[in-house]
Structure 1
Amino acid sequence: MRLLNNTSNPIFSNYFWNDRKTANAKMTVSGILIKTFLMLTITTTIVVGVWKLHTSGTNIKWFGTGGMIAAIVISIVLSVRQHWAHFLVPLYAVAKGFFLGGFTAFVKVHYPEMPYQAIGVTIITFFTILFLYQTRIIVVTKKVRSVIITVCSAIFLVYLISWILSFFGIRSFIWGTSWIAIGFNIVAVTFAALSFLLDFDFIERYKNKAPKYKEWLACYGLLVTIIWLYVEILRLMKKLAIRF
């Protein structure tokens, strides 16, 4: 039953919410959304900058890999140094900007409008899920949490195994354009979007209770989910474009 109190997003685990000391300023939903918007602006700006460098002929081969490695290191440090979140999260946004810039630049060469379309779909999905949650059209029950957590964990496991196999020269089915690969992407996109429900629900439980600085931790969690959703949408759109 304890598992049901967690979300599919690791940053929203109970570890980050154990400190409930009294403070004058408390975490608010508006504060989280403002910080998330600012971080997404930073990430988007970096992505556009990398695109321009690529267009001018600059070799950005290592931008994506470097950004990913930096994001992983920052995430590890953040997991043990919560009070550094106010400058680690912006650094994470920058790192992810380089990762997404490198990742999407090559897609943009063959499909110039696709990254913009993926961004649009991601934004629309985010606000749609937020609306559904706020209006209680979708209610987050224990059963709903359990299903989303289980499927998201399975998706993560598949990606992990595929990544390990790549070191042995084995190409996983999920990277192809078969109907199975496309179906997997559709499931990933769906549950990336649904994981917002768990994040919103968890934030709502601690609003006006947790210390103000934890807005940065919640912002980081939303940023992780938003970027995951964007990447899955872009991959799905690319596969459909190649397939058809």
Structure 2
Amino acid sequence: MALGNPVFANDKNFGKQPPQFPGAAPQGYPQGYPGAPTQGYAQQGYAPTGYAPGQQPLSPEQLQQMYNQPPASNAQMGRMTVDDVIVKTIGTLLVVLVGAGLGWVFPVLALPGAIIGLVLGLVNSFKREPSKVLILTYALFEGMFLGGISGILENLYSGIVVQAVLGTLIVFALTLVLYKSGKFRATPKMTKFFMIALGGYAIFSLVNFGLMMFNVTNQPWGLRSVEVFGIPLGVIIGILAIGLAAFSLMLDFTSIEQGVKNGLPAKYSWSAAFGLTVTLVWLYVEILRVLAILRGND
């Protein structure tokens, strides 16, 4: 079973090998490489692969020169690369920052940003082919939401935004180090547990949002403000959510590694960038909320 971020789960191209054709050169070699399969073509009256009708065979020196050539890189072959994912992720996050600036100055944009960002996030998640325009549009509106709530909370608790940003960067860095070390991997069993926990968290969040919308509770954070053994439930749930977001990052890294290994087309770098952006936004929001609950409970 291929592992990966749920954002990639609906993209059946992730985790699959590119198609192979009879007589085609292996990955990294030009068509017509020495020794390419010729069975089936010569019998049909066609020249062997790499030779035009009447063309003389290559000399030993020419063959040796061809063999000495380095294999073509993924970038040269129009395939997904880690560098490409990094560049596109940085670009997407910069658009998030632009939207955040607008939301910070105009907090009224937070609500429409949240609604439109959610809709575009779902559209991008279930879309078979990645769309650069839709992904960047999502980043802009999601940034408006982040900027709006960040500005409001910063006015209440000075310095909370810097703390949340630092917390997000630390969790990201630690998760990446653990992944690169090979000591922690997203196993099928862990992924199954993650999906169950994620579903439970989503149900809790929807119920809590409904209670707050219909004024069933007047607590600022709804059920999250309820204390369990003197600890706000929001802190307990928040720490769990941060752990889920960190594991989602692990799934992102796994999906990217598999995509590069299997030689996916370069356009799927946008899918990888979108997945990382969604996870980082989620991680930041959870850390920001936990900090706000803790500081509001002082």
Normalised to the residue count of structure 2, the TM-score between the two structures is: 0.70
1:37 aligns with 2:90: yes
Contact 1:86–1:216, Cα closer than 8 Å, also in 2:
yes
What does residue range 158-237 of structure 1 map to in structure 2 within 5 Å?
A: 158-171=204-217, 173-176=222-225, 178=227, 179=231, 180-208=233-261, 209-237=263-291
How many angstroms apart in 1 are the aligned matches of 2:288 and 2:117?
20
| 178, 190, 194: which one aligns with 1:144 | 190
Q: Where does residue 17 of structure 1 map in the other structure? A: 13
1:107 aligns with 2:153: yes
How many angstroms apart in 2 are the aligned matches of 1:84 and 1:225?
17
Deviation at 1:141, TM superposition (A): 1.9
RMSD between superposed Cα atoms in Å:
2.4
Amino acid across the alignment from 2:225? G
How many angstroms apart in 2 are the aligned matches of 1:48 and 1:221?
22
Query: In the superposition, relative to structure 1, how do residues 184 and 79 fare at CA in structure 2: closer, same or farther (>3 Å)?
Result: closer
Contact 2:110–2:144, Cα closer than 8 Å, also in 1:
yes
Contact 1:64–1:102, Cα closer than 8 Å, also in 2:
yes
Contact 1:6–1:14, Cα closer than 8 Å, also in 2:
no
Larger radius of gyration: 2
| 130, 133, 138: which one aligns with 1:92 | 138
Deviation at 1:74, TM superposition (A): 2.0
Runs (5+) with no aligned partner, structure 2:
20-73
> What per-residue deviation string (whole Å, max 9, x for no partner) do you get for residues 62-86 of structure 1?
x111111221232344346554511
1:133 aligns with 2:182: no
Amino acid across the alignment from 2:292? K
SS class of match (1:70): helix
Amino acid across the alignment from 2:135? V
How many angstroms apart in 2 are the aligned matches of 1:27 and 1:75?
22
1:26 aligns with 2:79: yes
Q: Where does residue 99 of structure 2 map in the other structure? A: 46
Greater fraction helix: 1
The count of residues paired between Structure 1 and Structure 2 equals 233
Contact 1:177–1:243, Cα closer than 8 Å, also in 2:
no
Question: Between the two proteins, what is the percent identity of the paired residues?
Answer: 27
Runs (5+) with no aligned partner, structure 1:
55-59
How many angstroms apart in 2 are the aligned matches of 1:166 and 1:197?
33
SS class of match (1:129): helix
The higher-RCO structure (CA 8 Å, 6+ apart) is: 1
> What per-residue deviation string (whole Å, max 9, x for no partner) do you get for residues 165-193 of structure 1?
33432237543263222111111112211
Contact 2:238–2:286, Cα closer than 8 Å, also in 1:
yes
SS class of match (2:206): helix
Contact 1:36–1:220, Cα closer than 8 Å, also in 2:
yes
Q: Where does residue 114 of structure 2 map in the other structure? A: 68
Query: In the superposition, relative to structure 1, how do residues 237 and 13 fare at CA in structure 2: closer, same or farther (>3 Å)?
Result: same
